[in-house]
Structure 1
Amino acid sequence: MKIPFTWQYCLAFMAFVFVFGQLHETAHLTAAYFVCGQPGIQRDFNLWTLSVGCENSTYAYVPTIFGPVFSYVCMWIGFFMLRTDNKRLWPAAFLLVVGNVAFARVLTAALGGGDETTVLKALLAVQPIWFIKALGFVLVFSLAFPPLYMVYKRLANKHRVGVLAAFCVLPLIIMMLYEFILLGKVIEAGVLPQAHFLGIADFIYVHTALMAVVVFIFRKTLFGASSKSLT
């Protein structure tokens, strides 16, 4: 498959990243509700917390792992789609793997952070921190690299390493500047900061809905345009 570098595709791809990024966060908060009886709190795009008192729960680590579980399930669905001979599924598989920021999970774990490492710290508190971080990286790499490698194998772009690198790295920069910084300041300024459902600020719901509309409008570009160049 060939991934097009058109503005329509890149716009729709980023919208997909934003939608599934928020689904990742919603998985955290939904799990928090079942563990604690009340949701956590997400006031911006970069941070969620447990509700007051929930951090003392024996299972306080459970909500932390459910975000990655959601993302890995998506990545591995994409992995198995790419293994089939049905090439029309490959564009959607590309989105499920790369659009769930598989590379970011590996990079964060390599730096000693991430949800997975946080959970390991809770479960293996008696172990040396270097061991926990190393184990976290091995775990994340084992889960995220195979889908990424399968994407690489299926790409037919002339410079497929560069194409894959661009779609792995550039969205992280855009998310940092646009979601975490710019939209974070919008929420801080008092635009729909209230949380009426699952502890998520209303502004985040509005933004996610708008991104979902963008994905819908450009769905043929995302799921069909690259299928014209399948090999």
Structure 2
Amino acid sequence: MGTYRFPFDLRHLLALVAFAWLASFAHEFTHHASGALICNGVGRMSLSLFANDAECGTRWPWTIAAGPALSYLLMWIGLAWIVVAARRGGDPWWGFALVIANKPFLRLLTAGMGGGDEGVLWDLAFPVAGRWLATATVLALSLPPLWTCWRALKPQHRGRVFAAAFVLPMLPLLPVPFIDRAVYGAWIDGKQCLAAAFGVPWSVWCIEGLVLVALLALRLLVAPRPASPVAAALR
């Protein structure tokens, strides 16, 4: 390991931002879909918020656990992708993207501050030590994918590249929860009716569809092209 030069041109960065956006939606939609299953009723969801059906009762913690379960699963798939790509000489970008897009450092930060899904769940069982147990949980589940990403990078400028890869794509997404609350807060609180499918406004579906198209287009533009026979002969 330690041979991958992480690409930092604008197109790759925008692709990571789009991927992180979609990963956030997948996280929230997993909360939402599990709530529909467990609560026997479809709740409401927006870009980054969800509300279970009123009849959920004491089963709601399972819907909280579903979101991070998906996020950690995707991180570990990213870990496996990087390892396989390294062994086969393939491109590990998608593996890095899976780890980066599921925000391991933000999950660690929110858990350390006493928030996040992990904090909510641990506070239910151990209110006094919930913050520390949540932080330990995030560390245990996030460190192996993070370490795999670290080891895969070329040693030269590894620290700066690693930090930039995990921080820069998150910056455009930081205002999203505040904008989301301003635009869809009344919908989430049940005070506004919107045209929706499966509890998700059509405007949200359209936004996610556009982001998905943008991601696919960006990856086609930045996908590595096979070297021509002439170029290969000159190496």
**Which is higher, the Rg of structure 1 or of structure 2?**
2
Quote the offset at 1:46 in angstroms.
3.3
Bigger shift: 24-33 or 97-106? 97-106
Q: Name the CA distance, whole Å, in 2 between partners of 1:17 and 1:78.
A: 13
Find the counterpart in structure 2 of residue 72 from structure 1.
72
From 99, 102, 111, the equivalent of 2:101 is 99
Deviation at 1:8, TM superposition (A): 0.8
Q: Secondary structure at the match of 1:104?
A: helix
Identity, in percent, stands at 27
Aligned residue type for 2:45: Q
Q: For residue 206 of structure 1, what is the amino acid of its counterpart?
A: C
Letter matched to residue 77 of structure 1: I
Q: In the alignment, which of 157, 174, 177 is matched to residue 176 of structure 1?
A: 174
Correspondence for 1:209: 209
When normalised by structure 1's length, the TM-score is 0.84
User: For each residue in 1:93-133, what CA deviation from the matched residue of structure 2 results, as whole angstroms up to 9, or x when unmatched?
Assistant: 101111111221111111111111212223x1xx3x33121
Distance 1:86 1:108, change over 3 A: farther
1:189 to partner: Cα distance: 10
Q: Which residue of 1 aligns with 2:111?
A: 109
Q: Can you list the C-alpha shifts for 1:53-107, whole angstroms capped at 9, x where unaligned?
A: 32x2x32100111111111111101112222312325111101111111221111
Give the counterpart of 1:4 among 3, 7, 10. 7
Q: Deviations over 1:20-56 (max 9, x none)?
A: 110111111110011011122223x3321212232x2
SS at match of 2:212: helix
- In structure 2, the gaps of 5 or more residues are 188-192, 226-235
The answer as to whether partners of 2:123 and 2:129 remain within 8 angstroms in 1 is no
Structure 1 contact 20–100 (Cα < 8 Å) conserved = yes
- Asked whether the 8 Å contact 1:9–1:221 carries over to 2, the reply is no
Residue aligning to 1:143: 141
Say if 1:186 and 1:135 are closer, same or farther in 2 by CA, change over 3 A.
Answer: closer
User: 1:186 Cα shift?
Assistant: 5.0
1:3, distance to aligned residue in structure 2 (A): 1.6
Matched, 1:131 2:129: yes
For the 8 Å contact 1:27–1:67, the answer to whether it is kept is: yes
1:206–1:34: structure 2 CA closer, same or farther, 3 Å change rule?
same
Deviation at 1:160, TM superposition (A): 2.0
Task: Quote the Cα distance in structure 2 between the aligned partners of 1:164 and 1:130.
Answer: 34
**Which residue is equivalent to 2:161?**
163
Quote the offset at 1:170 in angstroms.
2.7
Q: How many residues align?
A: 216
SS of the aligned residue for 2:150 comes to: helix
CA distance in 2, matches of 1:211, 1:87: 30
One of 10, 23, 26 as aligned partner of 2:26 = 23
- Report the Cα distance in structure 2 between the residues aligned to 1:33 and 1:154, rounded to whole angstroms: 40
Segments of 4+ moved more than 3 angstroms: 181-190, 220-225
Distance across 1 between alignment mates of 2:147 and 2:158? 11
Alpha-carbon distance in 1 for matches of 2:128, 2:185 = 36
Q: 1:86 aligns with which of 78, 85, 88?
A: 88
Give TM-score, length-normalised by structure 2.
0.82
1:60 is matched with 60
